[in-house]
């Protein structure tokens, strides 16, 4: 069964702390994504990566950075957490569309981060 695993389901951090959110996929997908989801705002893309060591800014990259050292792992980093980063964070991965692939997004269960 295909899987995207996020390291923590719930986290509570203090303002100014450095926060790492880890995501691992076992499907050998090229693309990986980090979204955040807030009530009334839907899913917003933070960063995505289409290859190892490659990254692209999404719609709301400010205050975040990412790391993709291995194909299966994509980490989201909050260098200095702030209260406005309290949110649900969703990791996803996808292959490229093609005859044998759907290119669909597979999501993890999400990590709910609270910054106090």
* H or E, element range at 107: strand 106-107
92 binds another protein (CB under 8 A): yes
CA 67, CA 75: separation in Å to the nearest integer? Answer: 5
Q: For another protein, which is the closer residue by CB, 35 or 74?
A: 35
With CB under 8 A as the contact rule, the residue among 11, 27, 60, 105 that binds another protein is 105
Q: Is residue 113 a contact residue for another protein (CB under 8 A)?
A: no
Rule CB under 8 A: choose which of 24, 78, 87, 108 binds another protein: 108
> Could you say which of 33, 75, 81, 87 contacts another protein (CB under 8 A)?
33
Q: How far is CA 95 from CA 29, 48, 62, in A?
A: 5, 13, 26
Distance CA 101, CA 7 (A): 27
Measured from the CB of residue 87, what is the shortest distance to another protein in angstroms?
Answer: 14
């Amino acid at each position: 069964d295909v899987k995207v695993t996020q390291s923590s389901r719930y986290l509570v951090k203090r303002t100014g702390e450095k926060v790492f959110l880890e995501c691992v996929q076992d499907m050998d997908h090229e693309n990986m994504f980090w979204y955040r989801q807030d009530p009334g705002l839907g899913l917003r893309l933070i960063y995505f990566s289409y290859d190892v060591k490659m990254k692209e800014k999404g719609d709301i990259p400010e205050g975040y950075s990412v790391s993709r050292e291995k194909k299966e792992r994509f980490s989201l980093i909050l260098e200095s957490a702030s209260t406005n980063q309290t949110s649900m964070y969703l990791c996803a991965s996808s292959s490229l569309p093609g005859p044998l692939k759907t290119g669909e997004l597979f999501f993890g269960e999400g990590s709910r981060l609270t910054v106090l």
